Amino acid sequence: MTSSRVLLDPTGERALPVRARGPRLARLDGVTVALLDISKPRGDVFLDRIEARLRERGATVRRFRKPTFTKPAPVDLRQEISVQCGAVVEALAD
């Protein structure tokens, strides 16, 4: 008797979604950039450095934080970011 192994995808997606990339910003001067901390250890350290570099280039920076890294950002948080900011940097770190 032979055994076969089956890989199960917990997301239930049958095909990878194809998404077009958004247009790149021509400049950062005057743009409000959201820095989204996903609540993993040391993500804030990474974002502190990114914030300093963005400010040097004239961007306004707003900081946001997900309640937990184990779930997607809540709808109200995503809505707030989309209304207030022209770009987003999401931090992943450990």
- Its pTM surpasses 0.75: no
pLDDT for the residue 31: 95
35 DSSP β-pair partners? 63, 89
pLDDT of residue 17: 75
C-alpha angle with apex 77: 10 to 31, nearest 5 degrees?
Answer: 115
pLDDT of the chain along its 94 residues, tens only?
555 677 666 666 677 778 788 788 899 999 999 999 998 888 888 899 999 999 999 999 999 999 988 888 999 999 999 999 999 998 876 6
CA distances from 26 to 40, 44, 46 (A): 31, 26, 24
